[in-house]
Amino acid sequence: MHRFFLPLACIQNEIVFFPTEIAHQLKRVLHLREGQVVIVLDNQGMEYEVKLVSSQAHIAQGQILTRRVAQDEPTVRLAFYLCLSQREKFEWMLQKCTEMGVSAFTPVISSRSLVQEPDEVRKKYPRWQKIIQEAAEQSGRGRLPVLYPPLSLEQAVLESRQNHRSAFLLWEGERTLSLHQALTGIFPGQNQLALLVGPEGGFSETEANLAVNAGLLSVSLGRRILRMETAALVASALVLYETGEMNP
Amino acid sequence: MHRFFLPLACIQNEIVFFPTEIAHQLKRVLHLREGQVVIVLDNQGMEYEVKLVSSQAHIAQGQILTRRVAQDEPTVRLAFYLCLSQREKFEWMLQKCTEMGVSAFTPVISSRSLVQEPDEVRKKYPRWQKIIQEAAEQSGRGRLPVLYPPLSLEQAVLESRQNHRSAFLLWEGERTLSLHQALTGIFPGQNQLALLVGPEGGFSETEANLAVNAGLLSVSLGRRILRMETAALVASALVLYETGEMNP
C-alpha cells in the first residue's frame, strides 16, 4: 500500500488534507481513485489508514479509517556521520541507509571531502530531504531520518562521542577490532549508536587519530577493500542485524 | 598497490607479459614507470609482486619478486542466483557483491524478469565479466567470481539445491524465519551456500512455492521493504559476517 509522510497540520480529527504535490501524485502518477486506501504517517510515530474521499489534480482529501503506532521502525537509533563525497555516491548512501533503518544523517566535511564549503552543502538539503523521504516511504519506515546541518570532522568527532553511548569509526586502517567484536556486549540494552564513515580515499592518519583519541572505537569490516558507499550500507545492515532488527 | 588478474599464459617462470590493454593502462592511465611494483593474480589462488622492467604503450613486462597464496579470499563459497532486472541495478549487484566476496553469479530468468531471452542475456557477458574483474581487482579478491550461463527459474532452483549443502531463497513473503536463524548451526563447517534473489517486484507465489518445495529455505531480511539490489548486497554481507569473513 502506498505510504506518505504528511505534516501534522494536514491531519485534523478524522480528515486528512493532502498537500498539492501529493494530490497530484495520487491522481496523475498513481491513478488512485476515491474509495482507495493509502497509509499516512505523521512522523511522530503514528500511522493511519486513509480512504480517499476526494481526489483532484491539485487537492485531495481522505478519511481516517484506523490509527496505530507505526510498526516497522527500528528501536535502535543509529546516527550516521557521513563524510561528503561524490554526489551520486552520497545520495545513494542516503537512500540505501534510510531503507536499512538509519535514524539520522550528518554530512561531514573532512580533509579529503570533495565539497569543502558548508554553504554549498546546505543548498543540496531540499534534494537530499526528498531522497530520504521517498526511501522512507518506499521501505515502510515509521519515522523520517533526520538530516542535520553539516559539521567539520572535528565537530563531528566531538558530537558523535558526546551524544551517543557508543561511537564507532569505520576505518580501513584498523587491523585488530572487527565491528562484530565491537558490537558484542553492547546489545541488548544500548540503543544510541553513532557511526563515522570516511570519504573516498578514507580518513587521513591524523583524522583517524583525532577520532580515536576522542574516544571513538575504530572498527574494521574485514580484509577486502570496500568502497565508501558499500562500507556504509554494510555497516548499517550489520548493526541492525546484531540488534535483531532484521528479523521478520 | 594496483592489482591485475592475468591469464596464466602471461606468467612464465620469473617473467610476466602484460596484455596490450593492461600495458596501456599501466602506462597511460596509471602512469607507472619501470621499477614500480604491482600485484598480479593468476586466478588459481596465487598472487605475485611484480616489478615493471619495461613499460611501453602497447607492451609491458615485469619481473616476479615474490609469490604467495592470495590472502584475502573468503573460504566460504557463496553462489548467487540473481534474477535479471533493470540493467544498472543488475550491474551494480555484480559489482558490489564481488566486492563483498561472492564466489559465483548465475543470472536467472524468472516470470517478472525484465529480460526473457537467454540470447539477449549472453550478449551482456563481456561487459559483466569486465565489471566483475574490476571490482575483484579493486577490492583485493584473490579469485575472480565465476559468471555462469543464464538459467530459467526452474533450473536455478534445482541446481542451487543439488550443488550446495544449503540453499536459501530471499523472500519478502517470509514471515517466520530470519536469515540469522537460518545461518545458525550451519557454521562453522559448511562452506558451500547458494542464495536465490528475486527481481524487482519479487517472486510470484508460485515461484516461491516451487523453490520451497524443492528444498530451498525461505528467509526474511526483516520487516522493512528493501529494494532488490539492497537485499542482495545486505544478504551477502550477513552471510560473510556470520562466517567471520569480515574480521580484520
pLDDT digits (tens, 9 = 90+) for A8-57: 999 998 999 999 999 999 998 999 999 999 999 999 989 999 999 998 87
pLDDT above 70: percentage of residues in chain B? 98
Note the pLDDT of residue B191: 79
d(CA B74, CA B192): 11
Note the pLDDT of residue B58: 84
The ipTM is: 0.85
Note the pLDDT of residue B127: 97
Tell me if A230 and B227 make a contact (CB, 8 A cut-off). Answer: no
Tell me if A248 and B100 make a contact (CB, 8 A cut-off). Answer: no
Q: Which tens digit of pLDDT belongs to each residue from A51-81?
A: 999 988 788 999 999 999 988 788 889 999 9
Closest Cβ–Cβ partner in B96, B241, B248 for A230? B96
Quick one: CA dihedral A7, A89, A84, A122, positive or negative?
negative
Residue B46 touches chain A, beta carbons under 8 Å: no
Residue B213 touches chain A, beta carbons under 8 Å: no
User: Which residues, 6+ apart, have CB-to-CB distance to A187 below 8 Å?
Assistant: A76, A242, A243
Q: Is the distance from CB of B207 to CB of B153 less than 8 angstroms? A: yes
Residue A75 touches chain B, beta carbons under 8 Å: no
Q: How far is CA A120 from CA A7, A88, B82, in A?
A: 27, 16, 40
Residue A193 touches chain B, beta carbons under 8 Å: no
Residue A221 touches chain B, beta carbons under 8 Å: yes
User: Would you say residue A187 has pLDDT above 80?
Assistant: no
Note the pLDDT of residue B246: 85
User: Would you say residue B209 has pLDDT above 90?
Assistant: yes
Cell 592470495 sits at which residue? B70
- Dihedral (C-alpha) B169, B173, B176, B177: value to the nearest 10 degrees? 20
Q: Exposed (0-12), middle (13-18) or buried (19+): which is B138, by Cβ within 10 Å?
A: middle
Residue A192 sits at φ, ψ, to 5 deg, of -125, 100
pTM, to two decimals: 0.89
Q: Give the chain B residue nearest A177 (alpha carbons).
A: B248
DSSP state for residue A140 in the 8-state scheme: T
Q: What is the average pLDDT value for chain A, to the nearest integer?
A: 92
d(CA A215, CA A220): 16
Cell 548465475 sits at which residue? B106
User: Would you say residue B188 has pLDDT above 70?
Assistant: no
Residue B246 touches chain A, beta carbons under 8 Å: yes
d(CA A232, CA B130): 25
Mutation site, B221, B223, B227, B245, interface A, largest A CB count within 10 A: B223
Residue range B140-151: mean pLDDT, rounded: 95
d(CA B83, CA A151): 41
Note the pLDDT of residue A172: 86
Partners of B55 in the β-ladder: B60
Tell me if A248 and B180 make a contact (CB, 8 A cut-off). Answer: no
A245 contact residues in B (CB cutoff 8 A)? 222
pLDDT above 90: percentage of residues in chain A? 72
Note the pLDDT of residue B184: 81
Note the pLDDT of residue B8: 92
Q: Give the chain B residue nearest A246 (alpha carbons).
A: B222
The answer, yes or no, to whether the previous bond of B188 is cis (omega within 30 of 0) is yes
DSSP state for residue A220 in the 8-state scheme: B
pLDDT category at A188 given cuts 50, 70, 90 is low
Tell me if A225 and B140 make a contact (CB, 8 A cut-off). Answer: yes
Mutation site, A223, A229, A236, A243, interface B, largest B CB count within 10 A: A223
Tell me if A248 and B220 make a contact (CB, 8 A cut-off). Answer: yes
pLDDT category at B225 given cuts 50, 70, 90 is confident
pLDDT category at B201 given cuts 50, 70, 90 is confident
Q: Is the distance from CB of A86 to CB of A126 less than 8 angstroms? A: no
Closest Cβ–Cβ partner in A139, A176, A234 for B224? A139
Q: Which of B167, B55, B50 is nearest to B104 (CA)?
A: B167
3-class SS at B190? Answer: coil
pLDDT category at B114 given cuts 50, 70, 90 is confident
Cα B94–chain centre separation: 6
Count of Cβ atoms closer than 10 Å to residue A135 Cβ: 21
Tell me if B234 and A233 make a contact (CB, 8 A cut-off). Answer: yes
User: Would you say residue A144 has pLDDT above 80?
Assistant: yes
Q: Which domains does chain A have, with CATH numbers?
A: 3-69 (2.40.240.20), 77-242 (3.40.1280.10)
User: Would you say residue A116 has pLDDT above 90?
Assistant: no
Q: Give the chain B residue nearest A179 (alpha carbons).
A: B247
Mutation site, A234, A239, A242, interface B, largest B CB count within 10 A: A234
User: How many CB contacts within 8 angstroms connect chain A with chain B?
Assistant: 111
User: Which residues, 6+ apart, have CB-to-CB distance to B82 below 8 Å?
Assistant: B90, B93, B105, B106, B107, B108, B197, B232
pLDDT above 90: percentage of residues in chain B? 72
User: Would you say residue B185 has pLDDT above 80?
Assistant: no
Residue range B93-120: mean pLDDT, rounded: 92
Rounded to 10°, the helix B125-139/B87-100 angle is 30
Q: Which tens digit of pLDDT belongs to each residue from A201-227?
A: 889 999 999 999 999 999 999 888 899
Radius of gyration over every alpha carbon of chain B, rounded to an integer in angstroms = 20
Tell me if A71 and B223 make a contact (CB, 8 A cut-off). Answer: yes
Q: Which tens digit of pLDDT belongs to each residue from B55-76?
A: 887 889 999 999 999 887 888 8
